[in-house]
Amino acid sequence: MLSDLDTLMAAHGLDGLLVMGDSSGNPVMQYLVGNVHFERALIYKPVGGETTLIHGSMERDNAAGTGYRLIDRDQVYNAYEYLKRHDGNQLDASVHMLLDVLRDSGMQGTVGFYGTQDVGAGWTLLNNLADRLEGIDIKGEFGQTLFAEARATKDNRELAELAELGRRTCTVVHEVEDFLTGHAVAGDHVVKEDGTPLTIGDVRTFLQGRLQLQELAEDHQTIFAQGAEAGVPHNAGTNSVRLRTGSPIIFDIFPKGRSGYFHDMTRTWCLGHAPDHVAEAWTATKQLFDEVMARFRVGEACASFQAQACDFYEGLGHPTPRTHPGTHEGYVHSLGHGIGLDVHEGPNLSLAQGNTDVLQPGHVITVEPGLYYPDQGWGVRHEDAVALNEDGELVWLTNYPAELVLPMRG
């Protein structure tokens, strides 16, 4: 949680931190400033000290709402003045400005640098800066960074936002279900009023309109995949594909709200009826999901849930990542992941070497078992997002029925 920042800084061996970049497309900056717009902002904080935001003059009203100590960049660290001093050399100007910021901050010792930037540009900037710094060692973290650890546990404000996103997403899913089942069937195809086939593209157009009404956005294309395409977990589905009865559809929706936070849920549907082998796989997958959730509590090792999933599916004769690393058939992925300002963040329900994550209050996680057989023309997955609140109680964020077969009403 954000309130843990000083404790985490000490645990990560940091005397200070500096975050750089725009707020858009930069989850660490957005985590600190909220859903407000900043360009080329800087935030620094010594361990145990106050947080300072360096912002552009045009964003001074946005900055006023953050509660941080503020510095107007255009008045104190004017980019055009630095460029004049360095004959237009952007790298030298940027390094000089950062040297001045760090000197004025009073920070000494080990300072962690964070934020989103082009990899090559960031490497060049920090290497040039490090060569000229005195009294400060730059630390770049990899993997379980300070902010990855902080963001993995959500406070009550974040949990409330994620619950609202879950409610809005479920509303959209219900509208899509109603849209589908209201169509007529001709042979084994779903058809529109004029008798032409209903396609995945038609569904996607309807979906996008409903998302907008709920003030939700697609950061990446929603997965709505049928048949063999449903057998590849991240195949988004081809717009020209005609919807057929009895062919499994994986509908994985992960919209972003205005706050920048995500929801994530998946349903597998068969329109009208389901083949026996698909129904059997779906029933087994839902059974596994229920068994996992029965022991989903604070203190449980996250890796243990993936082990449970592999045990279950292997017992039914399916390949898993444990028995067949890199498999394209059977159970092919980990059991779940955290969600927040990224749709995939910590903690992780995986058997990856070094995964020591343990369920804690504040965790928000998706649980998503599934089976995939693209060469046989099908896949199934069931996914809900859940939270462990600050009291450690399990809270469902995805409140939507789990039904494989959708009866057609048209």
Q: Where are the domains of the chain?
A: 2-150, 153-406
**Stretch 145-163: mean pLDDT:** 97
**Stretch 38-53: mean pLDDT:** 97
How far apart, in whole angstroms, are the C-alpha atoms of residue 272 and residue 385?
A: 27
**Stretch 312-325: mean pLDDT:** 98
Residue type, 402: A
In SS3 terms, the chain reads as: CHHHHHHHHHHCCCCEEEEEECCCCCHHHHHHHCCCCCCCEEEEEECCCCCEEEECHHHHHHHHCCCCEEEEHHHHCCHHHHHHHCCCCHHHHHHHHHHHHHHHHCCCEEEEEEECCCHHHHHHHHHHHHHHCCCEEEECCCCCCHHHHHHHECCHHHHHHHHHHHHHHHHHHHHHHHHHHCCEEECCEEECCCCCECEHHHHHHHHHHHHHHCCEECCCCCEEEEHHHHHCCCCCCCCCCECECCCCEEEEECCEECCCCECCEEEEEEECCCCHHHHHHHHHHHHHHHHHHHCCCCCCEHHHHHHHHHHHHHHCCCCCCCCCCCCCCECCCCCEEECCCCCCEEEEECCCCCCCCECCCCEEEEECCEEEEHHHCEEEECEEEEEECCCCCEEECCCCCCCCEECCCC
Whether 190 contacts 183, CB under 8 Å: yes
Task: Flag whether pLDDT at 322 surpasses 90.
Answer: yes
Cα torsion 235, 238, 239, 244: sign: negative
Angle at 302 between CA 296 and CA 308, to 5 degrees: 75
**Stretch 96-122: mean pLDDT:** 96
How far apart, in whole angstroms, are the C-alpha atoms of residue 318 and residue 55?
A: 55
**Stretch 260-287: mean pLDDT:** 98
pLDDT at 256: 97
Whether 158 contacts 4, CB under 8 Å: no
CATH 3.40.640.10 is held by the domain 153-406:
no
**Over pLDDT 90: what percentage of the chain?**
98
pLDDT at 27: 95
Q: Domain 2-150 - what CATH class?
A: alpha beta
Task: Flag whether pLDDT at 272 surpasses 90.
Answer: yes
Task: Flag whether pLDDT at 178 surpasses 90.
Answer: yes
How far apart, in whole angstroms, are the C-alpha atoms of residue 255 and residue 303?
A: 27
pLDDT level of residue 380 (50, 70, 90 thresholds):
very high
CATH topology identical between 2-150 and 153-406 = no
**Stretch 142-157: mean pLDDT:** 95
**Stretch 396-407: mean pLDDT:** 98
pLDDT digits (tens, 9 = 90+) for 55-88: 999 999 999 999 999 999 999 999 999 999 999 9
**Stretch 367-375: mean pLDDT:** 99
pLDDT at 410: 77
**Stretch 235-250: mean pLDDT:** 98
